[in-house]
Amino acid sequence: MNTIPTTRSNFSYLFSAPVIVAALGYFVDIYDLLLFGIVRIPSLVSLGLSEEAISVVGASILNWQMTGLLLGGILWGVLGDKKGRLSVLFGSIVTYSLANIACGFVQDPTTYKVLRFIAGVGLAGELGAGITLVSEILPKELRAIGTSLVAGIGLLGAVVAYFTVEFFDWRYAYFIGGGLGIMLLLLRVGVFESGIFEDVKHLKHVQKGNFFALFTNRDRLVRYLRCIGIGLPTWFVIGILSTFSNEFGRALGITEAVRPGLSIMWCYVGLSIGDLSSGFLSHWLESRKKAVLYLMLFTLLVSLVYLYAGIDSAGHLYFISALLGFGIGYWAMFVTIGAEQFGTNLRATAATTIPNMVRGTVVLMTTLYGTFKGSFSVIDSGALVGVICFAIGIYCILTIAETHGRDLDFLEE
């Protein structure tokens, strides 16, 4: 077994400017990504919408944001391979920071939709570009720990977003998010580009950032789909179990009101701890696959407890939500696997689009959940969606190639 690096030089790698800036960037990214979900009701109430309209318009705005994430993932991924990882880190944060500041001035739902779409486009680039940059800069033996630090610190943005809304008006919450992004932009001035990318960016014969190349070769397509499949259980937990925790609470007979926003916050607390732990677990096991599989199986077990163990209070449900978050703490490892599966000329495209494709599957999950509720109980409907997600996730992690210790200096032909 490897031992965790303890030399000063290794720690200087882990706490270098690219790692710190990528972590803080993802912190602001998560803050802004979840902010609409937290301020959805108060913001739409202040715009004068009825209770019925809030449900319909809120869902529509969220769909616009998710559509922006899907399209932005492709845009920033391609730019990351064509122009460089840093261009995406700068461009994405300018886009979503300005969009979030503008959200603080919104006066009507239509403008709100457009601004959340633009914010979604910007938010799509941060994680994939950051993980790609950190993966290529760090020595391979430190890669798992470094990317876990990025995600573990970054995911705490969800907690800060929740408490910001608790203490400030929703408009100020948007201003704070945008302001944090602009401040972060100043920190990025001293960050250097990936040397691996610099070595290939001038090679004219190498096709860089071709999104469709992921679909024109069977081997690449299978790798790409398996990477997406690995991530499905993570958003089952966030998009179904946490988001609809009020419905599951009522179905379980919990008398006190369960607050989805609080469920999501506790889920992200666990997710941050899990992400920090998963890198060390992967390093200790010398395997990405084993680390992800063990955490995925843990999440499956806790999901069964959530649905069928007879939780009898909101406090217990929030505690289980935190455990679920810890279980899906392989999120950073999953994105790292996506980056490591592909050559330098397609790495940013893959690593940026894969997590956003997973986020996009939430629409399918919620649709299935709603459809199942027509024939099954709320509990069983959630379980059926979970069975599909975990079956795909477990199959994909078992069949994908191991990438622990892989040299990333290679190209996709």
Domain ranges for the chain:
8-190, 211-405
Q: Alpha-carbon distance 188 to 21, whole Å?
A: 7
The predicted pLDDT at position 81 comes to: 79
Q: For residue 9, is it left (φ>0), alpha (ψ between -120 and 50) or beta? A: alpha
pLDDT of residue 385: 95
pTM value?
0.83
Closest-CA residue to 77 (of 29, 85, 335):
85
Cβ contacts of 347 within 8 Å, gap of 6 or more: 81, 132, 135, 136, 339, 408
CA 196 to CA 338: how far, in whole Å? 17
Q: What is the predicted pLDDT for the residue at 248? A: 93
Cα distances (Å, whole numbers) of residue 399 to 231, 270, 337, 392, 396: 14, 27, 13, 11, 5
**pLDDT attached to residue 209:** 59
Q: Is 63 left (phi over 0), alpha (psi -120 to 50) or beta?
A: alpha
Q: What is the pLDDT of residue 116?
A: 94
pLDDT at position 3: 47
Straight-line distance from the first to the last Cα atom of the chain, in angstroms, rounded to the nearest whole number? 34
Check whether domain 8-190 has CATH 3.40.50.10540, yes or no? no
Instruction: Note down pLDDT in tens along the chain; length 413 residues.
Output: 444 444 446 667 777 777 888 888 888 888 888 888 788 888 998 999 887 788 788 878 888 888 898 898 888 888 877 877 677 777 888 899 999 999 999 999 999 999 999 999 998 887 777 787 788 788 878 888 888 888 888 888 888 888 898 888 999 999 999 998 888 877 765 565 555 545 555 655 556 657 888 888 899 999 999 999 999 999 999 989 998 888 899 999 999 988 888 898 899 889 989 988 888 898 889 899 999 999 999 999 999 999 999 899 999 999 999 999 999 999 888 888 988 898 878 888 888 889 888 988 888 898 899 899 999 999 999 999 999 999 999 999 999 999 887 777 666 67
Q: Do the beta carbons of residue 299 and residue 240 sit within 8 Å?
A: no
Say how far apart CA 201 and CA 328 lie, in whole Å.
35
- Report the distance separating Cα 76 and Cα 71, nearest Å: 9
Which CATH architecture best describes the domain 211-405? Up-down Bundle (1.20)
Domain 8-190 and domain 211-405 have a common topology: yes
